């Protein structure tokens, strides 16, 4: 068991301190000048009272003390831990945020960056163990929600493989993509939520600062992973303009910068996974899968104990009151 505010547990000692102070005052003949609401009311059980009356009185005192102690524990914010199944994803909503800017047509990953990213997401959708829901956001010069979180794997895959470099215009609006995914995740029903950003570059257009968007994701408590794709320098490039149909091929000067992406992942309280080829992308999938499993285990294991202890405190106080009023007739 753990506590959010363990210092409040010292309040459990308050009735004991009051009882000791009262006993000291009575021994020295000091008249009481104040009365606590939790102090017993009426006269005490006389010396000639029967055993059952004395027992009932002591039992009511003990029940009141138990009730007070439980309320102090509740105020301290208790929580416990249970064994959890790390593989469980039934309550998990994952939104993948894919970069579809023209630079994703670079061929330093086979067959190109975007198609490698599509294979990554498809592997997760196909192999997820215990259900869960997957959504899809894409961004280029602007951002769009292509698929709300859904457990319909065929529909997610259909929209995933309909993506093409440049379909959302020139530029890389990372901030808009993150902000759109965060807004959507805020409205989903999953108890646990994750956001996975897959991109090859830094923010170049858009009205939303990517660091601000990542900070919002962190404040929401969403699991965040950033997968960087590509290499620096001259890389082969083949791009078909989705508007004009013009085919461009040759060499592309890649400005891929891992330091920028690492800073973005840190702002979102997440992890950065660098991938420079298909093999490293496969390892990134395994790493992401393990991180999700660890997150699930930690999230599911911790559970609040306050409601149950509050009910126990009320039951204990009710029993003590019943004994005082019904068994002892309210004279003690």
**For 307-316, which contacts have Cβ atoms below 8 Å and span 24 or more sequence positions?**
309/70, 309/73, 309/74, 309/78, 310/70, 310/71, 310/74, 312/70, 313/66, 313/67, 313/68, 313/70, 313/71, 313/74, 314/67, 316/63, 316/64, 316/66, 316/67, 316/70
Whether residue 222 has pLDDT greater than 80: yes
Token pair for residue 294? 């660890």
Distance from C-alpha of 42 to C-alpha of 60, rounded to nearest angstrom: 14
Token pair for residue 89? 């994803």
Whether residue 86 has pLDDT greater than 50: no
**Do the bridges between strand 192-199 and strand 133-139 make them parallel or antiparallel, or are there none, so unpaired?**
unpaired
3-state secondary structure of 171: coil
Domains along the chain with CATH numbers? 2-77+305-327 (no CATH), 92-302 (3.40.50.410)
Contact 216, 182 (CB under 8 A): yes
Instruction: Map 275-314 to HEC letters.
Output: ECCHHHHHHHHHHHHHHHHHHHHHHHHEEECHHHHHHHHH
Whether residue 199 has pLDDT greater than 90: yes
Distance from C-alpha of 117 to C-alpha of 300, rounded to nearest angstrom: 30
Query: Would you say the C-alpha torsion 100, 104, 105, 110 has a positive or negative sign?
Result: negative
The strand pairing partners of 229, in sequence order, are 275
Distance from C-alpha of 327 to C-alpha of 57, rounded to nearest angstrom: 9
pLDDT for 249-290, tens place per residue?
A: 999 888 888 999 999 999 999 999 988 877 777 777 777 777
pLDDT confidence of residue 39: 43
Report the percentage of the chain scoring pLDDT > 90. 39
Model confidence at 130, pLDDT cuts 50, 70, 90, reads very low
Model confidence at 302, pLDDT cuts 50, 70, 90, reads low
Beta-carbon neighbour count of residue 69 at 10 Å?
Answer: 19
Average pLDDT, the chain: 82
pLDDT for 26-77, tens place per residue?
A: 776 655 554 444 444 444 555 555 677 778 878 888 888 898 888 888 888 8
Whether residue 291 has pLDDT greater than 60: yes
Contact 268, 181 (CB under 8 A): no
* Higher pLDDT, residue 327 or 251: 251
Token pair for residue 148? 């709300």
pLDDT for 208-220, tens place per residue?
A: 999 999 999 999 9
pLDDT confidence of residue 29: 62
pTM of the model: 0.64
- Output the DSSP codes for 222-237: -EEEEEEE--EEEEEE
Distance from C-alpha of 24 to C-alpha of 29, rounded to nearest angstrom: 9
Contact 215, 224 (CB under 8 A): no
């Amino acid at each position: 068991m753990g506590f959010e505010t363990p210092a409040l547990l010292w309040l459990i000692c308050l009735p004991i301190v009051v009882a000791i102070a009262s006993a000291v005052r009575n021994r020295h003949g000091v008249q009481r000048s104040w009365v606590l609401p939790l102090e017993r009311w009426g006269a005490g059980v006389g010396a000639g009272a029967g055993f059952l009356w004395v027992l009932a009185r002591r039992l009511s005192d003990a029940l009141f003390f138990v009730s007070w102690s439980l309320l102090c524990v509740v105020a301290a914010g208790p929580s416990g831990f249970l064994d959890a199944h790390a593989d469980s994803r039934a309550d998990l909503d994952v939104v993948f945020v894919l970069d579809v800017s023209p630079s994703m047509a670079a061929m330093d990953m086979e067959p190109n960056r975007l198609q490698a990213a599509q294979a990554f997401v498809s592997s997760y959708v196909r192999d997820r163990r215990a259900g869960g829901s997957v959504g899809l956001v894409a961004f280029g010069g602007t951002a769009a929600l292509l698929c709300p979180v859904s457990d319909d794997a065929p529909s997610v895959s259909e929209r995933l493989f309909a993506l093409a470099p440049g379909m959302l215009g020139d530029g890389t609006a990372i901030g808009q993509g993150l902000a759109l995914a965060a807004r959507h995740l805020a409205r989903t029903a999953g108890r646990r939520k994750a956001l996975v950003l897959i991109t090859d570059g830094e923010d170049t257009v858009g009205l939303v600062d990517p660091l601000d968007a990542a900070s919002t994701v962190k404040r929401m408590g969403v699991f965040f992973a950033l997968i960087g794709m590509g290499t620096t320098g001259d890389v082969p490039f083949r791009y078909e303009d989705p508007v004009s149909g013009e085919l461009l091929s040759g060499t592309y000067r890649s400005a891929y910068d891992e330091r920028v992406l690492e800073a973005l992942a840190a702002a979102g309280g997440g992890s950065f996974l660098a991938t420079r080829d298909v093999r490293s992308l496969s390892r990134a999938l395994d790493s992401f899968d393990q991180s999700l499993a660890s997150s699930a285990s930690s999230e599911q294991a911790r559970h609040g104990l306050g409601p149950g202890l509050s009910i126990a405190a009320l039951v204990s106080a009710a029993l003590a009151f019943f004994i005082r009023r019904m068994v002892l007739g309210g004279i003690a």
